[in-house]
Amino acid sequence: MKKYIIGNWKMNLNVHEASLFATKLSQGLPIRRDVETVVCPSFVALQPLSLQVDHRQMKLGAQDCYWRDSGAFTGEVAATQLRGLAQYVLVGHSERRHIFGEHDRDIRFKVQAALRNGLTPVLCVGETELERKEGDTAHVLEDQIVSGLMNVGSDQIDQVLVTYEPLWTISTSGSPHVPQQHELEQVVKIIRSKVTHMFGREAGKAIPVLYGGSVDKDNARIFLSVEGIDGALVGAKSLIAPEFISIVEIASEIAKEEKK
Ligand code: 13P
């Protein structure tokens, strides 16, 4: 199965720096069929990068979108405005949920807005450290999946990606640590069985599920080898060209091994 490596640049790089960095990436990224490489720059860099990048090498994603298609929503960017600039959009990233107070309802509407506008939503789910300690991980994930995908049609579910990105693993949130392989395996099962429950067995099996949180070139193989994990959402290390390129290479190797 195809792997997905998505770089989330977060609020880093100005337009000029983003362009230079994309050039650097393009020099080290061969065109691959077995890995979908996506980078998510800030909104302001999307337009110039959409003209610059070779889409066979890397696709572009937005880090968020608003769910209304137009109107008096100062400061927001609608999915309609991302059409033609991005192919993917992150929805419900934990920083949106926890720093900016996004609720499941906003996230559900954003997933729909993305689909309505021909963008692939990458629905991010994950528990906090406290929820984990209290043994609530499964409930939290199930709620986030049900709520985020509630209004998705059965003919649309094949256009959605899910990323499991628990808060306690993100490199900039306190002192991150990463899940053990068996923990990740367990979580993937929870996510897939919820999708199966909502959309049927085929969808539960086929939906790409990514892992995010402190992914680097040294641990990428471990995460990408977990059964049911189809890719990675990379934060800090997506801003270091050789690291990001190595992660894409590792994904490609694993995709090839799986094909054998
Ligand atoms: P890090 O890879 O820096 O932990 O960030 C993860 C993330 O939030 C990607 O969206």
What pLDDT was estimated at residue 176?
A: 74
- Distance (Å, whole) CA 25 – CA 238: 10
Entry pTM = 0.97
Please choose, from the candidates 205, 110, 162, 142, the residue with its C-alpha nearest in 3D space to the C-alpha of residue 6.
162
What is the per-residue pLDDT for 211? 98
If one residue of 172, 218, 219 were mutated to test the ligand 1 pocket, choosing by the most ligand atoms within 8 A of its CB, it would be 172
Q: Would you say 214 and 176 are in contact if contact means Cβ atoms under 8 Å apart? A: yes
User: Helices (H) and strands (E) in the chain — how many of each?
Assistant: 11, 8
**88/62 Cα distance (integer angstroms):** 6
What are residue 227's phi and psi, to 5 degrees? -60, 130
User: E-assigned strands of the chain?
Assistant: 3-8, 35-40, 59-62, 88-91, 120-125, 161-164, 209-212, 231-234
Instruction: For the beta carbon of residue 93, count every other beta carbon within 10 angstroms.
Output: 27
Q: What's residue 174's pLDDT?
A: 67
Residues within 6 Å of ligand 1 by CB = 8, 93, 165, 170-172, 212-215, 233-237
The pLDDT score that the predictor gives to residue 215 is 96
Residue closest to 2 by CA, chosen among 219, 244, 177, 254: 254
Q: Can you give the pLDDT of all 260 residues of the chain as single tens digits?
A: 899 999 999 999 999 999 999 999 999 998 999 999 999 999 999 999 999 999 999 999 999 999 999 999 999 999 999 999 999 999 999 999 999 999 999 999 999 999 999 999 999 999 999 999 999 999 999 999 999 999 999 999 999 999 999 999 988 776 678 999 999 999 999 999 999 999 999 999 999 999 999 999 999 999 999 999 999 999 999 999 999 999 999 999 999 999 88
pLDDT on residue 177: 87
3-state SS string for 157-203: HHHCEEEECCHHHCCCCCCCCCCCHHHHHHHHHHHHHHHHHHHCHHH
In tens, the pLDDT along 40-59 reads: 999 999 999 999 999 999 99
Would you state the pLDDT for residue 259?
84
CB of 162 closer than 8 Å to CB of 208:
yes
Q: For a substitution probing ligand 1, which of 5, 128, 170, 173 has the most ligand atoms within 8 Å of its CB?
A: 170
* Cβ atoms 124, 92 nearer than 8 A: yes
For residue 236, the model assigns a pLDDT of: 97
Write out the two tokens for 126: 């994950």
Please identify which of the residues 36, 102, 131, 165 carries the catalytic annotation. Answer: 165
| Number of other CB atoms surrounding residue 146 within 10 Å | 15
Angle of CA points 244, 149, 108, to nearest 5°:
85
The residues near 125 (Cβ < 8 Å, ≥ 6 apart) are: 92, 140, 141, 144, 145, 148, 162, 163, 164, 165, 191
- Find all residues with CB under 8 Å of 24, minimum gap 6, and list them: 241
